[in-house]
Amino acid sequence: MSAQSQPRLTPEQYLESERAAEFRSEYYCGQIYAMAGGSYQHFQIIGNVSGEVHTALKKRPCSVGSSDLRLRVSPQNYTYPDVVVICGDPRFADDQKDTLLNPTLIVEVLSPSTEAYDRGFKFAQYRTVESLEEYVLVAQAEPRVEDFRRQSGGHWLLSEAFGLESVCRFDSLDCTLALADIYDKVTFPPGGPIAAIRPAN
């Protein structure tokens, strides 16, 4: 994402403009950051993850949403996760009910332009959300899922699943997803993940 050139906004001003805007933007400490459009592969993976999690939780008190739902990480930080799961009653920032406060699990699908942000600053901000129990990173260029689980004492435990024959377990949801389902109909770039980020000649 990239910062737009404009004066700093209060959170209230951001929400007012965002609710009227045609395109979504994230917000951090007074600055609005336009969200870049995703690839078709990004779209496919988000749909697969959302669908598989929804099916796994169909009879349970959990809800699954995609990047249309805004998350308030803090009063100065608003984002749009690729996939968010809420278990129990959702809590919202106001009566508009379009800004979530209590995610249980967040999934971000990695892109070359956002991977460093998703792994670094964004994860650091998400770790401050008390309700968040798991943070999941899903690669686009290869079948790989990284799962960070909150532990006692502020620690996060990483587990990784690699290969279409593998499965990943989301402990916070008590469910297991096959990577073959997460990457259903996804075509990986020839030459592996390096080819996906190497500039074309």
Q: What is the pLDDT of residues 77-97, one digit of tens each?
A: 999 999 999 999 999 999 999
Residue 195 has pLDDT above 50, yes or no: no
Give dist(CA 103, CA 129) in Å, integer.
Answer: 8
Q: For position 34, what pLDDT does the model report?
A: 87
Residue 113 has pLDDT above 80, yes or no: yes
Q: Is 158:171 a contact under the CB 8 Å cutoff?
A: no
CA distances from 186 to 46, 71, 136, 192 (A): 11, 28, 18, 13
Residue 103 has pLDDT above 70, yes or no: yes
Residue 119 has pLDDT above 50, yes or no: yes
Q: Which of 106, 134, 108 is nearest to 45 (CA)?
A: 108
Q: Does domain 39-197 have CATH number 3.90.1570.10?
A: yes
Q: What is the pLDDT of residues 8-33, one digit of tens each?
A: 899 999 999 999 998 899 999 999 99
Sequence spans of domains, the chain? 39-197
Residue 200 has pLDDT above 80, yes or no: no
In this prediction, residues 125-154 reach a mean pLDDT of 96
How are beta strands 105-109 and 134-138 bridged, if at all? parallel
Give the global pTM: 0.89
Q: For position 6, what pLDDT does the model report?
A: 59
